[in-house]
Amino acid sequence: MSKTDFPLISIKVPGVDKNFNLSDPATRLEYFEAKAGPEIKKLKEYLDKNTFIAYLLGKKNSGKGTYTKMLMEVFGSDKIAHISIGDLVRATHLSMEDESKKAELIEYLKANYRGYISVEQAIDALLGRDTKTLLPTEFIMALLKWEIDKMPKKALFIDGFPRDLDQVSYSLYFRNLIDYRSDPDIFVAIQIPEAVIDERMKTRVVCPICKTPRSLKLLATKTVGFDEATNSYYLMCDNEGCNKAKMVGKEGDELGIEAIRDRLELDEKLIQKILELEGVSKVLLRNAVPVAKASELVDTYELTPEFYYERGADGVVEVKEKPWTVKDDEGIESYSLMAPAVVVSMIKQLSQVLGL
Ligand SMILES: [Zn+2]
């Protein structure tokens, strides 16, 4: 399958040469202002009176949720919502245990869902009692509509729909269904080398208490420990309340992308199909840039570093960084961008496709 390469967009701003610390939320806001101040101002004015719907498309573990959360840091969660279909289905599954919530949902579905299987059958499929029936798209759409109906009107970033090739056409008409018919809809696609996803999966760890994700290789915490028994370094959660909890990996992650190969292939097909669509606005985001062109496009602090560790004589672990390069899917030596740098490109393109 031949892939369409996403455009290389420069996010360098003449005169802005401060080295921002992108892991610090406060500095990050300063960084966004410095890099995309005029676009942020226009988008804020737009979001005061208007909304839009964005469909996030990217391979599994491409960071879709992270990008939206950073946009929410800039524009506020009263203006932007991130809706993950996976989270929604899991939450609905849980709420089925509560009789009154269950009754409320069934009543809503009876009024709003239309499809080839009954509400009861669809719920059985949702609960896993019926493993042969796939959740119909019409049912997913009804759940999504329910979620959106419950919140005040704001710009939506939908993650996980369309999820399959046959859902693309549904997504083209979804805004009519949720009474957003006069709002623009935008397809936001993320191109990310599989090697980056692989490395992220193999090195990711999560705080057992607050669930914050980090990576031993690509996103370290402030404090790092050393385990004598296994002769290995480990990250400790930065959050106050977690009391330096030891972050842990998830079983199966050591396999990397081989465990999700089918999903990645389907995700790629979905992106290619979206690229072919006529008459819709598209925002195309690159997670990686070729090493040979990086200096024209981004600043050094916007590149994902590789972290490594050394132990001092006092036993204290020192966190060190060096440049990290990775081959993209075409075999080109590339740098992976830090999430905020991708968000800058997203802000600039959103402002453009909205005609601001
Ligand atoms: Zn924590």
Name the strands in the sheet holding 333-336, side by side, starting at the edge strand that comes first in the sequence.
288-290, 333-336, 326-327
**In the predicted structure, residue 74 carries a pLDDT above the cut 50:** yes
pLDDT band at 1 (very low <50, low <70, confident <90, very high): very low
Sign of the CA dihedral 35, 27, 187, 264?
positive
CA of 292 to the centre of ligand 1 (A): 38
CA of 214 to the centre of ligand 1 (A): 10
CA of 344 to the centre of ligand 1 (A): 27
Reduce the secondary structure of the chain to three states and give it as a string. CCCCCCCCCCCCCCCCCCCCCCCCHHHHHHHHHHHHHHHHHHHHHHHHHCCCEEEEEECCCCCHHHHHHHHHHHHCCCCEEEEEHHHHHHHHHHHCCCHHHHHHHHHHHHHHCCCCCCHHHHHHHHHCCCCCCCCCHHHHHHHHHHHHHHCCCCEEEEECCCCCHHHHHHHHHHHHHCCCCCCCEEEEEEECCHHHHHHHHHHEEECCCCCCEEECCCECCCEEEEECCCCEEEEECCCHHHCCCECECCCCHHHHHHHHHHHHHHHHHHHHHHHHCCCCEEEEEECEEEHHHHHHHCCHHHECEEEEEEECCCCCEEEEEEECCEECCCCCEEEEECHHHHHHHHHHHHHHHCCC
CA of 211 to the centre of ligand 1 (A): 6
CA of 40 to the centre of ligand 1 (A): 31
CA of 246 to the centre of ligand 1 (A): 9
Pairing verdict, β 185-191 and 204-206: unpaired
CA of 240 to the centre of ligand 1 (A): 8
CA of 275 to the centre of ligand 1 (A): 39
CA of 68 to the centre of ligand 1 (A): 21
Q: Please, what is the end-to-end C-alpha distance for the chain in angstroms?
A: 36
CA of 210 to the centre of ligand 1 (A): 4
CA of 209 to the centre of ligand 1 (A): 5
Mean pLDDT of 108-130: 89
CA of 72 to the centre of ligand 1 (A): 21
pLDDT band at 132 (very low <50, low <70, confident <90, very high): confident
Domain ranges for the chain: 31-79+154-353, 85-153
Kindly report, residue by residue over 243-294, the tens digit of the pLDDT: 999 999 998 899 999 999 999 999 999 999 999 999 999 999 999 999 999 9
Position 25 scores a pLDDT of: 86
Cα 353 from Cα 269, distance rounded (Å): 24
User: For all residues of the chain together, what is the average pLDDT?
Assistant: 93
Kindly report, residue by residue over 203-256, the tens digit of the pLDDT: 999 999 999 999 999 999 999 999 999 999 999 999 999 999 999 999 889 999
**In the predicted structure, residue 3 carries a pLDDT above the cut 80:** no
CA of 215 to the centre of ligand 1 (A): 14
Smallest Cα–Cα separation from 187: which of 87, 287, 268, 271?
271
CA of 316 to the centre of ligand 1 (A): 21
CA of 206 to the centre of ligand 1 (A): 8
pLDDT band at 117 (very low <50, low <70, confident <90, very high): very high
CA of 212 to the centre of ligand 1 (A): 6
CA of 104 to the centre of ligand 1 (A): 34
Mean pLDDT of 338-342: 96
CA of 172 to the centre of ligand 1 (A): 39
CA of 221 to the centre of ligand 1 (A): 11
Class of domain 31-79+154-353: alpha beta
Cα 316 from Cα 40, distance rounded (Å): 42
CA of 256 to the centre of ligand 1 (A): 24
CA of 58 to the centre of ligand 1 (A): 27
CA of 60 to the centre of ligand 1 (A): 24
Pairing verdict, β 155-159 and 53-58: parallel
**In the predicted structure, residue 2 carries a pLDDT above the cut 60:** no
Residue 105 forms beta bridges with which residues? none
What is the share, in percent, of the chain residues with pLDDT greater than 90? Answer: 87
CA of 248 to the centre of ligand 1 (A): 11
CA of 224 to the centre of ligand 1 (A): 14
